[in-house]
Structure 1
Amino acid sequence: MATPEYILTLSCPDQRGIVHSVSGFLTQHGCNIIDSAQFGDAQSQLFFMRVHFSVDEAGIQEAQLRADFSQVAETLSMQWQLHDAHHKPRVVLMVSKIGHCLNDLLFRYKSGLLPVEIKAIISNHSDFYQLAASYNIPFHHLPLATGASAEAKRQQEQKVLEVIAANQAELVVLARYMQILSNEMCEALSGRAINIHHSFLPSFKGAKPYYQAHDRGVKLIGATAHFVTGDLDEGPIIEQDVERVDHAMGPEKLTAIGRDVECVVLARAVNYFVEHRILLNGHKTVIFK
């Protein structure tokens, strides 16, 4: 039987004695720190911490850890979460007609590189039902016609939320899902939905952004993964990366490079979420890598 391991994440007003209080608590409860990271933000005056620890003393239960640590947290005005490090979060993937990110995440999942349980794939198109079947993952085709009314969109989103709820999803990944989510949908998924897109925004919007970028002679191609919010493509950024390009590359080559970057950036963001390495700091994030 595996030794119980937990990940504690917290934020609170920066002050003396936080690390001492946390490490002292863990020592008193028979725990051993496996790794720890902390950051004090001078601008927000907040302190952030992530501690991965094992429980080496027999008889110490999670409920006791939670109850006892809540007293420490209250004293220091902490916002905190305690996670079972062995738990694989339940994930729902959403996609439209561009499948590179979906395919990449499924391969990482099947290969054991992504410690999650992918419970369902949702799409407004039927293109990837065979891909889902090859991984034995339920595929939900929930179409939404171009120019659909607000009521039709609301009904489709309600069905999406029903699938997410039925699978008790802890994370929803928009793996190139090309529908703008309503404010109500964003609110329902707050803090547990990640989106990926090219980093040309807001310069190159709409169809074929890599072709637009080629016409302008860009020298860097990038991708951004962020939390979904009601502000389109402006949620707290989780991960970004870039690749250099040059004048000799055509728009198809730029598109291929961009898609590779999107896959890597999204996979990193999902991993950070799964390993509880993301802490919100206002409109920004603290990422403990």
Structure 2
Amino acid sequence: MTHPHENHAIGIAEQAELEIWQGIRDDTRRRLLKTVTVGVIYLIAALAVGAYLIVTIADVGRENVVLRGWQPVVVDVGWMLTIATGYGALAVTAFVGYLVTLLWIQDKLPAAAFQIVDGVPWIGSTIRVVAMGEFCQSIFQSLLRSQPIGVALDQASSAVGHAGMRRWSALASKRIEFGHPLAHVLQSSPIQDPPLSAVAAFAMQKLPASDSVDVWRRATSECHLLAQSRLDRTAMAVSVCCLLASVFIAFFALLLSGIAMRTMLQGLTY
């Protein structure tokens, strides 16, 4: 006689599905990391070149004299050094933001930090659906082994990398033990992307075990398809934004340098 909580072996087809989903998540994180890395390199390079150009022009113009109202006036380059310092501060900020993003993509941020960064456009929506896919896959695996949903949620609390979903899964497991309906529990998830909301709607119905497994399989598959589509949009948006920002930073440095050079050259014409 088979105990209802006994682990059942996962079939070859299901195992192949699980490996495909894992590959999609790994590829999504890898491509996100590459996109962000290239974008930050563009930004820091533009800031470094811009700061160097501004400091060089300021050094050339130091102690230069121009005539204003027939009075000799020493060229003020302090404002240029201030802007160059601002460029340096922006470069440090970009690097720190890059380190935080690395931890974010690799699911190494604390739960409180996830609540803040998950709202970031493009990257946040992609990370959310990847975390949701990992959560749904964990539940799907547990249901395949004929484990109850409370046990599945408890196992997801250690299987999912997203700290917010991990903490919520542990609490959700306790709520199921106390008799709370699954639909209400799912509605309290920190991530409310469409696949999970659809599962919550199905959970309001009394479904056979086989149908429940199928619902979670569909949700997991939908999460990974959504992750791929969001990744493409995110990669395009982040690349374009970083490129435009880099061009603006370099152009602004050239503009300021041109203004300063014009002032210095005016001092040579008298």
How high is the TM-score relative to the length of structure 2? 0.26
| Structure of greater Rg | 2
Higher RCO (CA < 8 A, seq sep 6+): 2
Q: Which has the higher strand share?
A: 1
How high is the TM-score relative to the length of structure 1? 0.25
Q: Which has the higher helix share?
A: 2
